[in-house]
Amino acid sequence: MAKKSGSKKVVHIGGRTIAISSADSQMFPGGITKGDLVDYYEAVSDVMIGFLRERPLTVQRFPKGIGVRGFLQKKAPSHTPAWIERVQVHKQAGEIVEYAMCQSTAALVYFANQRSVTFHVPSARQDRLTHPDQLIFDFDPSDDDFEKVRKSAGLVGELLDDIGLVSFLKTSGSRGLHVVAPIARTHHVDDVRAFAKQLCSHLAGQHPNLVTTEMSKKKRGSRVFLDYLRNGVNQTLVAPYSVRPLPTAPVSTPLTWDELSDPKLHAQRFNIRSVLARLGRRLDPWHDIHDHARPLADAIKAFRSR
C-alpha cells in the first residue's frame, strides 16, 4: 500500500519498503506522472507477474519522461537491490551478462520507480534459455491500414489451430499485434525459429499481396511483415500489460480472438486507465496460457502432412 506526502510516496509491499521519488513528475503528456506509472504497475501486477517471472528482463527506461530519449537496459546495474533476483545470460559472442528478473509485485514497483516504462522478455525461462516455451509471431504493418494486420493475425491463428497449437492474441501497444502459442520446452531455440519461419513463408506464399517475410522495408511495399525473428536467440517481446512510451500511455493488451473482428480494434486501443477498468470487468484472456503448452513435434508433423 502506498502513502503519499506531497510528491513523496512510499510503497510497503511484499515485505519491502520502496521510496518513490518524484512521484509528481510528468512521464507522459496529458498529466500522467511517474506516480501514476507506479500505481498502474502495482495494480496490474497480479496478472502481469506471471508473464515476467523466471525470464531475463530488458527494460526501456526514460529518466526524464518519454519526451526525452530513453534507453534499453539489459544488464542489471550494480545498484540493483540484492533482493532482485538475477540470471546470467550467455551471449553469442561469448560474453556473459547478468540480467535482473521481475519475480514479485515489489520488484515490478521497484522497476517502475526506476522509470522503466516498458518490459521486454524472451520466449524462454531462466532455467533453460535455449529451449523456448513460446512460439511468437509479430505483425509489423508497412502503413496505417490496421485491417491488414487483423487479417494477418487471423491467418496465423487459423494455421496454428489447424496444426494443433493453441494461440493467444494481444495488441502490441504500438503499431501491430502479437500472436503467441505456448509450447513444450523440447526444441532448441534455433529449431523453433526455423519452424516459425516455415509457417510465415507458407502464409506469404498463399497471400503474397497481404503478408511478407521480406526483411527489406523498401521491398515490403504495403504488405504486413510476418516477423518470426522474435523466436531467435536472446530475442525479446514486449510483455503483456507493458506500457509503451507513446503519448497516450498505450498498453500491450491480451485479447480474446473474438475481439479481432472488432472494427474499432487498433494497436493502441487500450491505455493504463482503460486496461485497469477492463480487468475490473473481465478475466485476463491470457490467464491460463501456461496450461495450453503443446508438443512442437506434433505441430511440425501436422504442418508437414497438410
pLDDT (tens digit per residue) in 11-25: 899 899 999 999 999
pLDDT at 2: 46
Q: Are residues 131 and 99 in the same domain?
A: no
pLDDT for 81-133, tens place per residue?
A: 999 999 999 987 789 999 999 999 999 999 999 999 999 999 999 999 999 99
Residue 8: pLDDT band by 50, 70, 90 thresholds? Answer: low
Mean pLDDT of the chain: 95
**Percentage of the chain lying above the pLDDT 90 cut:** 93
**Helix axis angle, 296-304 to 189-206, nearest 10°:** 30
The number of folded domains in the chain is 2
56, 137: one domain: no
249 and 114 share one domain: no
Residue 7 confidence (pLDDT) above 70: no
Cβ atoms 25, 64 nearer than 8 A: no
Task: Provide the pLDDT confidence category of residue 1 given band limits of 50, 70 and 90.
Answer: very low
Residue 231 lies in domain: 124-306
- Regarding whether 58 and 14 lie in a shared domain, the answer is yes
* pLDDT of residue 235 exceeding 60: yes
Would you tell me how many other CB atoms lie within 10 Å of the CB of residue 34?
24
pLDDT digits (tens, 9 = 90+) for 194-203: 999 999 999 9
Asked if pLDDT for residue 158 goes beyond 90, the answer is yes
The dihedral formed by the CA atoms of 252, 253, 254 and 256, expressed in degrees to the nearest 10: -130
List beta partners, residue 137.
179
Q: Judging by DSSP bridges, how do beta strands 224-227 and 237-238 pair with one another?
A: unpaired
| 180 and 107 assigned to the same domain | no
pLDDT at 4 exceeding the cut of 60: no
Per-residue pLDDT tens over the stretch 160-188: 999 999 999 999 999 999 999 999 999 99
**Tens digit of each residue's pLDDT (9 = 90 or more) over 260-296:** 999 999 999 999 999 999 999 999 999 999 999 999 9
Q: Provide the grid cell at 168.
A: 493467444
Q: Would you say 74 and 88 are in contact if contact means Cβ atoms under 8 Å apart?
A: no
Nearby residues of 19 by Cβ (< 8 Å), 6 or more positions away = 8, 9, 10, 113
Residue where one domain finishes, among candidates 82, 106, 121: 121
Length of the chain: 306
